[in-house]
Amino acid sequence: MIEIMPIWDYSKKIPLYVQLYEYIKNEIQIGTIKPETKLPSKRKLASYLGISQNTIQTAYDQLCAEGYVESKPRIGIFVKRLEDKLLYSLPPIYKSDENINLKDNFDYLIDFCPRDVDLNNFPHSIWRRLTTQCLYSDQSSVLVTGEPQGEECLREEISKYLFQSRSVRCVPEQIIIGAGTQYLLVLLCMLLGKEYTYAMENPGYNRVRNVFKDQGIDVDPISIDEDGICLEDLRKSSARVVYITPSHQFPYGMIMPVSRRLELLKWCEEKDCYIIEDDYDSEFRYKVKPIPSLQGLDSNGNVIYMGTFSKSLIPSIRISYLVLPSKLVGKYQESFKVYKQTVSRFHQDTLYRFMKEGYWERHIYKMRTLYRKKHGILLSAIDKYMKEKVEIIGEKSGLHILLKVKNGMTEEELIKSAHKMKIKIYPTSIYYAECVSSEFPLILLGFGGLTELQIEEGIQILKKAWFI
């Protein structure tokens, strides 16, 4: 009898038949068990390994189903001959868990994550009550598939809010709700067409760039200056669609002035192009009053407006939205309403009630006040502990800043030295279309999810990591 000696691992709670099947499969793949070899009978192998015959039979059945072995009636089970090139190209069955790095499990003391928001001040009790009302007021409707564009009542509330807060002019029929910015961008790529070149700010949001490239779209990186995307470079581009973050450029944080916005709209009109305006965190301003959205200034229907509740409410709710120009609504209605809604109708209804009953405006006011205070503490701490050794960029709005560090370290060295002190900070190099080198690297610091004490302590520790 050939030697079959799997090492049972009881700690992972993997059934024995699976462990046996994977062991034999691996032995066949690496050539230890040769083609035409007869496998032991289930009775003999069960006795040899001290396990049940049913376990052996189940493992053999799986190997037969996948074509590694074949059962010959009244003779036995034999290993099949596989094409060598195909066989040796198969990935190995067993890999060390250390080689699989799916998540950073390091226990950080403080994490300056730019995506985090303050969850301690989320109105849990109100949200819970509205969720309950949603469930019991009309139990049947929220449990079935709703409108492809999103619930009309929520779209109505979003249109009212956008007009009041951002001067966005739209009706509910122009709004499409979807589960996150990336999903909506994929929908937009199909709606606008993939044959065009798209442009975006450089540096710019890397997840958006990845969406465009994954959709097979050529992307022109356009440089930025102190007012946002550079119009001179954009005019030289062949792009017919441009993605921008004018109200809080990501990651630099500058706010595009009205003069640049009007120039951009003029370019768009002359070239018959589209602008995708991502207003991802427009609710939070600290030193200037909000500038009306590009969409609100557009009189030709060339601006597609995007917004999200991830920054202003909670990231996990996954509710974002598009505002299409009128001339694109018909095309969407004709060709894309076959795509079902990706946001839970249950969450949509709860958010509708949250906005309708006035809780949304109160929540935004409360969070704006809270983030303004945290923002001030962050800037004060940097001034207190680092002074002229660093330069702050993009401090007028949003939930993150950039820190230009002048100590001779590279971006990687800054991150590693912070890591040693259990502080997590974030690079900016990933937001460039190509690798860049700079005398003074930039580090991204988010503060939304941190307490006031954590912000002060984190900056104090970074001073020790970088300057002592």
Domain with CATH 3.90.1150.10 in the chain: 110-119+362-467
Looking at residue 397, what is its pLDDT?
Answer: 75
For residue 7 the two structure tokens come to 């090492």
Domain with CATH 3.40.640.10 in the chain: 126-357
Tell me if 448 sits within 8 A of 371, measured CB to CB: yes
Looking at residue 140, what is its pLDDT?
Answer: 61
Q: Please determine, for residue 102, whether its predicted confidence score (pLDDT) is greater than 50.
A: no
pLDDT, greater one: 149 or 14: 149
List, for residues 239-259, the tens digit of each pLDDT value.
999 999 999 899 998 889 889
Range 88-118 burial, b when 16+ CB lie within 10 A, else e: eeeeeeeeeeeeeeeeeeeebebbbbbebbb
Q: Please determine, for residue 50, whether its predicted confidence score (pLDDT) is greater than 90.
A: no
**If you average pLDDT over residues 158-177, what whole number do you get?**
94
Q: Please determine, for residue 83, whether its predicted confidence score (pLDDT) is greater than 70.
A: no
Looking at residue 360, what is its pLDDT?
Answer: 94
For residue 286 the two structure tokens come to 């600290």
For residue 231 the two structure tokens come to 């119009």
pLDDT, greater one: 279 or 144: 279
pLDDT class of 9 with cuts at 50, 70, 90: confident
pLDDT, greater one: 286 or 299: 299
Q: Please determine, for residue 99, whether its predicted confidence score (pLDDT) is greater than 60.
A: no
Q: Please determine, for residue 96, whether its predicted confidence score (pLDDT) is greater than 50.
A: no
CATH architecture label of 16-99: Orthogonal Bundle (1.10)
Which uninterrupted H or E stretch holds 303?
strand 303-308
Which uninterrupted H or E stretch holds 133?
helix 124-137
Q: Please name which of 35, 62, 44, 43 lies closest in space to residue 3, comparing C-alpha atoms.
A: 44
List, for residues 181-194, the tens digit of each pLDDT value.
999 999 999 999 98
Q: Please determine, for residue 92, whether its predicted confidence score (pLDDT) is greater than 70.
A: no
List, for residues 370-414, the tens digit of each pLDDT value.
999 999 999 999 999 998 899 999 887 789 999 999 999 999 999
**If you average pLDDT over residues 205-221, what whole number do you get?**
93
Indicate the DSSP class of residue 38.
B
Average pLDDT of the chain?
A: 88
pLDDT, greater one: 85 or 299: 299
Domain with CATH 1.10.10.10 in the chain: 16-99
**If you average pLDDT over residues 132-158, what whole number do you get?**
82
Can you name the CATH fold of 110-119+362-467?
A: Aspartate Aminotransferase, domain 1 (3.90.1150)
Sign of the dihedral defined by the CA atoms of residues 404, 405, 409, 413, in that order:
negative
List, for residues 16-26, the tens digit of each pLDDT value.
889 999 999 98
pLDDT class of 149 with cuts at 50, 70, 90: very high
Enter the CATH code of domain 126-357. Answer: 3.40.640.10
Chain CA centroid to CA 250, Å: 14
- pTM recorded for the entire structure: 0.76
pLDDT class of 105 with cuts at 50, 70, 90: low
Tell me if 222 sits within 8 A of 230, measured CB to CB: yes
